């Protein structure tokens, strides 16, 4: 029997997302859909002050509110040794503040009630007596000797507000290169601020904690991007046996990095369930999500490039001040406190580089790194792409030309960067030339010159970024000590249908589809016949979760290799059934056949059936395999983006006329899913460039604590994205795939800022910090006498 030919059983097919069948019917199951008998509801008393001592907490009125069952304070948690929890950056964070609050919206008490409304009424009735303290919001002032010490709890180890100083690269060689360029070449310098922003997923964070005293089993439904890692941390923090903790991350309505950390609300819900013996649900509201959960960016950067007079770059020097807020709760590999920021030499062949980062505490919410950032790659990529444009403008060179002359050449891969990364593969010139051709770059420059002559403002911005995603290897990368590998288990049932379980956790990225496609391609099945499960720690193999675009590079590799193990076993069964040696067999999609006798063969379905019904005596029955994959290197996706803007001189409005995005993520599993990721990611790159900023006033009040003030782009603001791709496979990944989820957010902001500065470069504008609001742009126009 010849194998049945299924559509979509090869990689690169635009197969429709399997999960959408339930989502478009409104049948997704999110944490807030979980309803348990006798369930109680939690709500949090939060600090109105950015910095204050807690003199007293009076819960007596709250306990009188009808429906209120309990009020848990920091002192109560202290008694159970739960008032503090470790962050993912080895700091200790208050679960509920005991004697002082360090940022507005900090958790102070947890009210448990029979309804969500009663819990809110209880929160309003808790009386907290605060004594306000001086507030530090500016990270530069946090380092001043007269600044109040924000973290007296750790003054033994850390006597100032500085959390760490971290540096990498060859400082002496870099300084020497700069000295040389000062006399014989050019040195450019620029301050750049990458503002604090928020991932703001549509579903806020929340959980349902259900502790059963009789069995000692704790089940937590959690909005989690990393259920296994969270289970381990629960076990370590709460001292509960790990096999009696079950974390279930059901459908997640967007994560974008916001759902990587463990939040006080989760711990409070668990503590409340243990205390009351009832399941407890806690779901935060929008303002709580924006004001208290993991923020992103907040990097104050000073960057310098040393180049020769022709614009050949030689050295990069970067000093950064990182504002981590009240607790250092950034999620990143332990060895790298500033994440993968030192990918900042970008796509260019720098001979020398030196980077340092000083991180400080301020009276702002903790977090850091999250929001489609690949561990600080957004900041790195923004700085190098802004600097390359600045260098081009200073030298009077075309920014595309300057990039082309400085790119790492395709034949230089694997390429060792000055900051010690080994780039796996790339063709930067190929991507940029394709983007230039797609927009007719020369014609655009021509048009710009004509418009300029008429006094109209038009700009062209380029970003040719290099990403770095897919951590491990585990010996260099870990989260809270757990090595960054990932996993997949493939079970082929007797009838040839497959159930696969993976260690990563989708939040909208379409893993149920693309991981099914990987298995389908390896086994020659239809993805319809492969179901993918994840997110339940009782059933899924241990994995580190989905963030930093690591799912495809790491769990995707595990999935391909687990499927190959299955295929290897199927081959043994085929040899037995066909009475030939394994070496006499050949594989075509979905079928082993005898070399030279193609009619004599067995399909994967027949072999699966035989594994359970007629298994060779020398093999274990059944057909399943597990793979735990520790990657040998990261993958380095890249892209070339070109943005064209027109600026209205009357209003300062920036209009994005065109945006061409050429992405390269190696082998594409599903072009439709990748396209969706790119569109979403570009929109989340547009966001910080033009709209979003999580600003604070001098007293530490959040100025954008809701979606009226915190502007996320809607369909109205979003331009028509034009996309294209090149394909440069990763040489070390089993199917050649690199990650793509974060690339567009990493690559887009600087294309937009570069375009706006390009429109104004002829009048001497060198830089404008994001977000490029009409007011900010208009002020620049006014200063330059360009307002009409
Ligand atoms: N893919 C593919 N071919 C490739 C690469 C990826 O078909 N060569 C597919 C993948 O198989 C997967 C999707 O594209 O279905 C994204 O894959 P990948 O780049 O591996 O990223 P992850 O799955 O690890 O997702 C994480 C990444 C991150 S870190 C953030 S933040 C982000 C993002 O994905 N959050 C998202 N995209 C998001 N999309 C949605 N809808 N919701 C989020 O919260
Ligand atoms: Cu950096 S946001 Mo994603 O890694 O979850």
Task: Give the pLDDT score at 9.
Answer: 77
Ligand 2 geometric centre to CA of 260 (Å)? 8
User: Which atom of ligand 1 is nearest to 670's Cα?
Assistant: 7
Residue 475 domain-assigned? no
* Parent domain of 357: 296-470+633-783
Q: What is the CATH number of the domain that holds 207?
A: 3.90.1170.50
Tell me the best of 339, 370, 544 to mutate to test the pocket of ligand 2, counting ligand atoms within 8 Å of each CB and taking the most: 370
98 and 77 within one domain: yes
Residue 146 domain-assigned? no
Task: Give the pLDDT score at 238.
Answer: 84
User: Which atom of ligand 1 is nearest to 225's Cα?
Assistant: 44
The DSSP code for 244 is G
Structure token pair of residue 753: 């800022």
Residue 3: band (very low, low, confident or very high) from pLDDT cuts 50, 70, 90: very low
User: Which atom of ligand 2 is nearest to 549's Cα?
Assistant: 4
Ligand 1 geometric centre to CA of 208 (Å)? 26
Ligand 1 geometric centre to CA of 511 (Å)? 8
Say which residues have a Cβ less than 8 Å from residue 196's Cβ, sequence separation at least 6.
295, 296, 297, 298, 323, 364, 693, 694, 695
Residue 476 domain-assigned? no
337 and 362 within one domain: yes
Tell me the best of 230, 547, 634 to mutate to test the pocket of ligand 2, counting ligand atoms within 8 Å of each CB and taking the most: 547
Residue 368: band (very low, low, confident or very high) from pLDDT cuts 50, 70, 90: confident
User: Which atom of ligand 2 is nearest to 331's Cα?
Assistant: 1
The angle that helices 441-453 and 428-439 make with each other, rounded to 10 degrees, is 60
User: Which atom of ligand 2 is nearest to 372's Cα?
Assistant: 2
Give residue ranges with CB within 6 A of ligand 2.
225, 255-257, 260, 369-374, 547-548, 742
Residues known to be catalytic: 225, 372-373, 742
Q: Is 369 in the pocket of ligand 1 (CB under 6 A)?
A: no
Ligand 1 geometric centre to CA of 510 (Å)? 7
Ligand 2 geometric centre to CA of 20 (Å)? 23
Task: Give the pLDDT score at 7.
Answer: 57
Tell me the best of 333, 367, 549 to mutate to test the pocket of ligand 1, counting ligand atoms within 8 Å of each CB and taking the most: 549
Rg (CA), the chain: 28
559 phi and psi angles, rounded to 5 deg: -65, -45
217 and 334 within one domain: no
Atom 26 of ligand 1, nearest CA residue: 549
Tell me the best of 371, 377, 688, 746 to mutate to test the pocket of ligand 2, counting ligand atoms within 8 Å of each CB and taking the most: 371
Q: Is 705 in the pocket of ligand 1 (CB under 6 A)?
A: no
Ligand 2 geometric centre to CA of 745 (Å)? 10
* Final residue in a domain of this structure, among 605, 629, 653: 629
Q: Is 673 in the pocket of ligand 1 (CB under 6 A)?
A: yes
Residue 478 domain-assigned? no
660 and 539 within one domain: no
307 and 430 within one domain: yes
587 and 649 within one domain: no
| CA separation for the pair 534, 249 (Å, rounded) | 8
Ligand 2 geometric centre to CA of 374 (Å)? 6
Looking at the CA of 546, which ligand is closest? Answer: 1
Residue 676 domain-assigned? yes
DSSP per-residue string spanning 530-558: EEEE-SBTTTSPP---S-TT-IIIIIIHH
DSSP per-residue string spanning 483-511: E--EEEEEEE-TTS-EEEEESS--SSS-H
443 and 305 within one domain: yes
**Average of per-residue pLDDT values in the chain:** 97
525 and 385 within one domain: no
Q: Is 372 in the pocket of ligand 1 (CB under 6 A)?
A: yes
Residue 479 domain-assigned? no
* Final residue in a domain of this structure, among 629, 659, 688: 629
520 and 596 within one domain: yes
| Rounded mean pLDDT, 341-357 | 98
Residue 123 domain-assigned? yes
Please report where in the chains the tokens 């004594």 appear, as a residue: 131
- The CA-atom distances, in angstroms, between 557 and each of 377, 515, 532, 635, 669 are 23, 10, 15, 12, 12
Q: Is 680 in the pocket of ligand 1 (CB under 6 A)?
A: yes
Task: Give the pLDDT score at 8.
Answer: 62
| CA separation for the pair 71, 290 (Å, rounded) | 24
Residue 160 domain-assigned? no
| Rounded mean pLDDT, 446-468 | 98
- Contact call for residues 55 and 131 (beta carbons, < 8 A): yes
Q: Is 665 in the pocket of ligand 1 (CB under 6 A)?
A: yes
User: Which atom of ligand 1 is nearest to 550's Cα?
Assistant: 24
* Final residue in a domain of this structure, among 600, 629, 658: 629
Looking at the CA of 479, which ligand is closest? Answer: 2
Is residue 762 pLDDT above 70, yes or no?
yes
Helix ranges (H only) for 623-701 are 671-690
Task: Give the pLDDT score at 788.
Answer: 76
166 forms beta bridges with 357
Counting the structural domains of the chain, the total is 3
Tell me the best of 343, 470, 548, 677 to mutate to test the pocket of ligand 2, counting ligand atoms within 8 Å of each CB and taking the most: 548
239 and 212 within one domain: yes
Q: In what order do the strands lie in the sheet with 498-502?
A: 530-533, 498-502, 486-492, 624-629
Position with higher pLDDT, 90 vs 220: 220
321 and 399 within one domain: yes
| CA separation for the pair 553, 175 (Å, rounded) | 36
Q: Is 12 in the pocket of ligand 1 (CB under 6 A)?
A: no
Q: What is the CATH number of the domain that holds 372?
A: 3.30.365.10
- Contact call for residues 637 and 743 (beta carbons, < 8 A): yes
Q: What pairing do the DSSP bridges indicate for beta strands 721-725 and 217-222?
A: unpaired
Looking at the CA of 331, which ligand is closest? Answer: 2
Ligand 1 geometric centre to CA of 744 (Å)? 11
491 and 368 within one domain: no
Q: Is 255 in the pocket of ligand 1 (CB under 6 A)?
A: yes
Ligand 2 geometric centre to CA of 699 (Å)? 30
Ligand 1 geometric centre to CA of 777 (Å)? 34
Question: What ipTM was estimated for this complex?
Answer: 0.99
Q: Is 199 in the pocket of ligand 1 (CB under 6 A)?
A: no
Determine which helix (DSSP H) or strand (DSSP E) holds 379, and give its type and residue range: helix 377-395
Residue 1: band (very low, low, confident or very high) from pLDDT cuts 50, 70, 90: very low
| Rounded mean pLDDT, 707-723 | 96
Structure token pair of residue 509: 């990225």
* 1-5, 601-605, 675-679: range with lowest mean pLDDT: 1-5
Looking at the CA of 295, which ligand is closest? Answer: 2
Nearest to 163 by CA among 298, 368, 358: 358
CB 312: neighbour CB atoms within 10 A?
Answer: 14
Percentage of the chain beyond pLDDT 70 is: 99
């Amino acid at each position: 029997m010849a194998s049945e030919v299924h559509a979509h059983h090869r990689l690169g097919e635009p197969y429709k997302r399997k999960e959408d069948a339930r989502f478009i019917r409104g049948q997704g199951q999110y944490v807030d859909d979980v309803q348990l008998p006798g369930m109680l509801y939690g709500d949090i008393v939060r600090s109105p002050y950015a910095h204050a001592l807690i003199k007293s907490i009076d819960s007596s009125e709250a306990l009188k509110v009808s429906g209120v069952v309990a009020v848990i304070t920091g002192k109560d948690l202290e008694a159970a040794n739960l008032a503090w929890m470790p962050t993912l950056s080895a700091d200790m964070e208050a679960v509920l503040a005991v004697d002082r609050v360090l940022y507005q919206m900090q958790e102070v008490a947890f009210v448990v009630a029979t309804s969500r409304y009663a819990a809110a009424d209880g929160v309003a009735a808790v009386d907290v007596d605060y004594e306000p303290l001086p507030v530090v919001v500016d990270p530069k002032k946090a380092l001043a000797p007269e600044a109040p010490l924000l973290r007296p709890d750790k003054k033994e180890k850390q006597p100032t507000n500085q959390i760490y100083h971290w540096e990498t690269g060859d400082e002496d060689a870099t300084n020497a290169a700069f000295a040389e360029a000062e006399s014989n070449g050019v040195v450019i310098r620029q301050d750049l601020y990458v503002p604090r922003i928020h991932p703001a997923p549509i579903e806020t964070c929340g959980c349902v904690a259900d502790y059963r005293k009789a069995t000692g089993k704790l089940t937590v439904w959690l909005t989690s991007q990393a259920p296994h890692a969270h289970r381990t941390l629960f076990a370590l923090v709460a001292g509960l046996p790990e096999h009696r903790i079950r974390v279930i991350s059901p459908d997640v309505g967007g994560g974008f990095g916001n759902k990587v950390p463990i939040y006080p609300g989760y711990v409070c819900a668990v503590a409340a369930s243990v205390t009351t013996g009832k399941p407890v649900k806690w779901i935060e509201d929008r303002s709580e999500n924006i004001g208290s959960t993991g923020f992103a960016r907040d990097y104050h950067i000073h960057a310098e490039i040393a180049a020769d007079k022709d614009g050949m770059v030689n050295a990069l020097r970067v000093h950064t001040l990182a504002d981590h807020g009240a607790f250092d709760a950034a999620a990143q590999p332990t060895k790298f406190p500033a994440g993968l920021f030192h990918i900042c030499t970008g796509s260019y062949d720098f001979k020398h580089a030196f980077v340092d980062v000083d991180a400080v505490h301020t009276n702002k919410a903790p977090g850091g790194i999250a929001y489609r950032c690949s561990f600080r790659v957004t900041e790195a990529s923004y700085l190098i792409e802004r600097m390359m444009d600045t260098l081009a403008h200073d030298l009077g060179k075309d920014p595309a030309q300057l990039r082309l002359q400085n790119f790492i050449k395709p034949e230089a891969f694997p390429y060792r960067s000055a900051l010690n990364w080994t780039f796996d593969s790339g063709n930067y010139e190929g991507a940029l030339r394709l983007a230039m051709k797609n927009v007719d770059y020369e014609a655009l420059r021509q048009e710009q010159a004509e418009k300029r002559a008429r006094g109209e403002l038009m700009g062209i911005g380029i970003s040719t970024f290099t990403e770095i995603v897919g951590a491990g290897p585990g010996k260099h990368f870990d989260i809270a000590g757990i090595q960054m590998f990932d996993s997949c288990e493939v079970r082929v049932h007797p009838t040839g249908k497959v159930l696969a379980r993976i260690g990563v956790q989708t939040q909208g990225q379409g893993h149920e589809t693309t991981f099914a496609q990987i298995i389908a391609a390896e086994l020659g099945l239809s993805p319809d016949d492969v179901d993918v499960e994840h997110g339940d720690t009782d059933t899924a193999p241990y994995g580190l979760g989905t963030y930093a675009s690591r799912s495809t590079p790491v769990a995707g590799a595990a999935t391909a290799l687990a499927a190959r193990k299955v295929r290897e076993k199927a081959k043994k069964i085929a040899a037995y059934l066909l009475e030939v040696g394994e070496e006499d067999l050949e594989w075509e999609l979905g079928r082993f056949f005898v070399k030279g006798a193609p009619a004599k063969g067995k399909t994967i379905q027949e072999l699966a059936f035989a594994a359970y019904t007629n298994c060779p005596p020398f093999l274990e029955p059944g057909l399943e395999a597990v793979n735990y994959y520790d990657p040998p290197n990261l993958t380095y996706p890249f892209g070339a983006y070109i943005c064209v803007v027109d600026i209205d001189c009357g209003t300062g409005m920036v209009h994005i006329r065109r945006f061409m995005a050429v992405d390269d993520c190696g082998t594409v599993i599903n072009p439709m899913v990748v396209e969706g990721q790119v569109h979403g990611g570009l929109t989340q790159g547009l966001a910080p460039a033009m709209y979003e900023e999580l600003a604070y006033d001098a007293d530490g009040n959040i100025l954008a604590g809701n979606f009226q003030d915190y502007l996320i782009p809607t369909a109205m603001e979003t331009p028509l994205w034009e996309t294209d791709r090149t394909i440069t496979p990763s040489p070390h990944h089993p199917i050649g795939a690199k990650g793509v989820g974060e690339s567009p957010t990493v690559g887009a902001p600087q294309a937009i800022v570069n375009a706006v500065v390009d429109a104004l470069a002829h009048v001497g504008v060198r830089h404008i910090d994001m977000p490029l609001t009409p007011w900010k742009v208009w002020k620049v126009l006014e200063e330059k006498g360009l307002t009409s």
